[in-house]
Amino acid sequence: MCSIDLLISLLLIGLLHPSKAELNFNNDLENNQKFKSVPTTIKSYENDTVLLPCHLDTPFRYVRWHRDDQPLVDSRHPEILPPNERIVLWGNGSLQVSNLKAEDTGDYYCEIMSSSNHAVQVHAIEVQYEPSVVTEPSGILELPIGAIFEVICMAKGVPQPSISWRLNGNTVDQYSNSGNRQSHIFEIKSRSMAGLIECLATNEVGQPAVAGVQLQVLFAPEVTLPQSVVYTRVGDRTHLECIVEAAPLATLQWFHHGVPVAIGAHISSQETELGVVNQALDSYVSLVKHVLTVKKVRESDMGQYECRASNSIGFKSATVELTGRPMPCVFKINPGTQSSTSHVLVWQTESMLPIMEFKLKFRQIPSANITRTIRTNWTELTIPAQVTIGPIYITSYTLHGLQPASLFEVSVLARNSFGWSDNSKIVRFATGGEVELPNYSTESELQYDATEEVFDNEITQRSQIFTASMTHNGATTCEYSGFIYLAIFIQICLNMRYT
Task: Spell out the per-residue pLDDT of the chain, length 499, in tens.
Answer: 334 443 334 334 343 333 333 444 444 555 556 788 889 899 999 899 999 998 887 778 889 999 988 999 999 998 889 999 999 999 889 999 999 998 999 999 999 887 777 889 999 999 999 999 999 999 999 999 999 999 999 999 988 898 999 998 898 876 555 568 889 999 999 998 999 999 999 988 889 999 999 999 999 999 999 999 999 999 999 999 999 999 999 999 999 999 999 999 999 999 999 865 555 446 889 999 999 999 999 999 999 999 999 999 999 999 999 999 999 999 987 766 668 899 999 999 999 999 999 999 999 987 655 555 556 789 999 999 988 888 999 999 999 999 898 899 999 999 999 999 999 999 998 888 755 555 555 544 444 443 343 333 333 333 222 323 333 333 333 333 333 344 444 344 434 433 3
CATH number of 289's domain: 2.60.40.10
Q: Domain check: are 377 and 391 in the same one? A: yes
Q: Domain check: are 116 and 195 in the same one? A: no
Pick the last residue of a domain from 219, 240, 260: 219
Pick the last residue of a domain from 294, 323, 352: 323
Q: Domain check: are 298 and 353 in the same one? A: no
Q: Domain of residue 286: give its range.
A: 225-323
Burial class (CB in 10 A: 0-12, 13-18, 19+), 431: buried
Alpha carbon separation from 441 to 306, 315, 329 (Å, rounded): 38, 44, 16
Task: Report if pTM > 0.85.
Answer: no
The full 3-state SS of the chain, as one line of letters, equals CHHHHHHHHHHHHHHHCCCHHHCCCCCHHHHHHCECCCCCEEEEECCCCEEECCCECCCEEEEEEEECCEEEEECCCCCCCCCCCCEEECCCCCEEECCCCHHHCEEEEEEEEECCCEEEEEEEEEEEEEEEEEEECCEEEEEECCCEEEEEEEEEEECCCEEEEEECCEEECCCEEECCEEEEEEECCCHHHCEEEEEEEECCCCCCEEEEEEEEEEEEEEEECCCCEEECCCCCCEEEEEEEEEECCCEEEEEECCEECCCCCCEEEEEEECCCCCHHHHCCCEEEEEEEEECCCCHHHCEEEEEEEECCCCEEEEEEEEECCCCCCEECCCCCCCCCCCEEEEEEEECCCCCCEEEEEEEEECCCCCCCCCCCCEEEEEEECCCCCCCEEEEEEEECCCCCCCEEEEEEEEEECCEECCCCCEEEEECCCCCCCCCCCCCCCECCCHHHCCHHHCECCCCCCCCCCEEEEEECCHHHHHHHHHHHHHHHHHHHHHC
Alpha carbon separation from 465 to 242, 399, 413, 468, 498 (Å, rounded): 48, 11, 20, 9, 19
| pLDDT value, residue 460 | 30
Q: Domain check: are 412 and 488 in the same one? A: yes
Whether cis (ω within 30° of 0) applies to the bond prior to 131 is: no
First to last CA, the chain: 145
Any residues with CB less than 8 A from the CB of 390 and at least 6 apart, and which?
Answer: 474, 475, 476, 477
**What letter represents residue 341's amino acid?**
T
Q: Domain check: are 96 and 202 in the same one? A: no
Pick from 40, 41, 43: nearest CA to 205: 43
| pLDDT value, residue 238 | 96
Q: Domain check: are 238 and 272 in the same one? A: yes
CB-CB contact of 405 with 434 (8 Å): yes
Q: Domain check: are 434 and 337 in the same one? A: yes
Q: Domain check: are 308 and 374 in the same one? A: no
Q: Domain check: are 346 and 490 in the same one? A: yes
C-alpha R_g of the chain: 45
Q: Domain check: are 360 and 492 in the same one? A: yes
Which residues partner with 111 through β-bridges?
64, 120
Give, in degrees to the nearest 5, the angle at Cα 129 between 124 and 133. Answer: 130
| pLDDT value, residue 435 | 56
Pick the last residue of a domain from 292, 323, 354: 323
Q: Domain check: are 69 and 182 in the same one? A: no
Based on the structure, what is the number of domains in the chain?
Answer: 4
Pairing of strands 315-323, 229-231: parallel
Alpha-carbon torsion, ordered 346, 352, 356, 357, to 10 deg: -30
Q: Domain check: are 20 and 91 in the same one? A: yes
